[in-house]
Amino acid sequence: MVAPHLAAPGGKPYEPPRFTGFLVFALLGIAAGAETAGGALRPAWLSWAGLAVSSLLYGFVVVMSFRGRPRPAWIALAALAAVVTALAWRFGGGWHYLFPLVGVACGVALYGRAVRWALAALTAVTAATVWAAGGRIDLILAFSWGTFSTGVVVAVILHLHAVIGELRETRQRLAEAAVAQERLRFARDLHDLLGHTLSVIVVKAEAARRLARRDPGQAERQAADIETVGRQALGEVREAVTGYRRGGLADELDRAADALRAAGVEVVLRRTGPPPGAHAESLLGWVVREGVTNVIRHSGATRAEIHVTGTSVTIRDDGRAGPAEPGTTGVGSAGSGLRGLAERLAESGGLVEAGPLAEGGFRLSARLPGSAPSP
């Protein structure tokens, strides 16, 4: 099993160590080269050829592993182990120092259980080879431990680099997700805030225009209301930008009733049950805002009923039901306002149902966890 951290996908945020840093381990063949040059290993040509082949195979294992090509790396690793073992049995001496080089190659090319089994087998072969060459127990332990430990250290280092890379990539993804979530919150808040507020301003502006000649005093009061609503909207937008807006349900109901009356809609408001908690009050305030905005902008209703409990809000009107068929309860095909409202409540385990009624009109119902359907 090849180490997945050695494959080099494009665009990764973290680079593992370069393969050039592992090529220096080929210097472990210096001892065998020195003994060959000194005439201790005969025939010399076989030892020199073995050193050249071992170095090439080791370099090939490292390069293929870092390029994410496991199969050629495994084949070269097996060939390297065979060459080093055969020549160590043949010559002994400095060739025993090539076993740690094979251990490093195992740590680079293999991963997980494969590297553990390979190092265990290589350690046993090292001990047997040194013992067969007449080595003392201290030499057997030294070469065996050196072979095993170098492979383990290299494997652990590369694994730690892989973990660091994954953590950095995960942190980057979490940061991107947080930014996307904040953009969604900001867009949803602006839609809910401005959609309702602008609808109220339009309704009151129309009322002021109609009353300008017939009742200037009333028209002036409507204009003052427009100014008040505009100032409130400005403050709410600023709060939404900073993320600290907390909608009060009572204030939201007062503004909703005032907006509906200004639009010529009769309002029936009922509150039952215990008062909602702070979080539930904020969510139910969003429901009232979105529901009343839809009544004013889309329904053409003359009467609207708002029923509020500690954990639910139901808004019914007698206006045009819209294109959906009676009995529809989903919001998947609704406008962005209802979809955003459903997403907002779903984050707290709530549910939004909206659709036309068989007897005419439209109904919006929102329930938080633990609530029963509003009557």
pLDDT in tens, 16-27: 567 677 777 778
- Cβ–Cβ under 8 Å, residues 366 and 351: yes
Instruction: Give yes or no: residues 8 and 154 share one domain.
Output: yes
Phi then psi for residue 46, to 5 deg, are -70, -40
Residue 258 covered by a domain: yes
Instruction: Give yes or no: residues 170 and 253 share one domain.
Output: no
- Cβ–Cβ under 8 Å, residues 169 and 12: yes
Provide the domain count of the chain.
2
pLDDT score recorded for residue 7 = 46
pTM over 0.75: no
Sign, Cα dihedral of 223, 229, 232, 238:
negative
Question: Which stretches in the chain have pLDDT values below 70?
Answer: 1-17, 19, 182, 185-186, 188-196, 235-248, 321-337, 370-375
Name the domain boundary from 119, 149, 174: 174
Name the domain boundary from 130, 159, 174: 174
pLDDT score recorded for residue 15 = 57
Phi then psi for residue 220, to 5 deg, are -65, -40
Instruction: Give yes or no: residues 144 and 9 share one domain.
Output: yes
Q: Which of 291, 289, 293, 310 is nearest to 374 (CA)?
A: 310
Q: Which domain holds residue 300?
A: 248-375
Instruction: Give yes or no: residues 143 and 257 share one domain.
Output: no
Core vs surface per residue 41-69: b (16+ CB within 10 A) or e? beeeeebeebbeebbebbbbbbbbbbeee
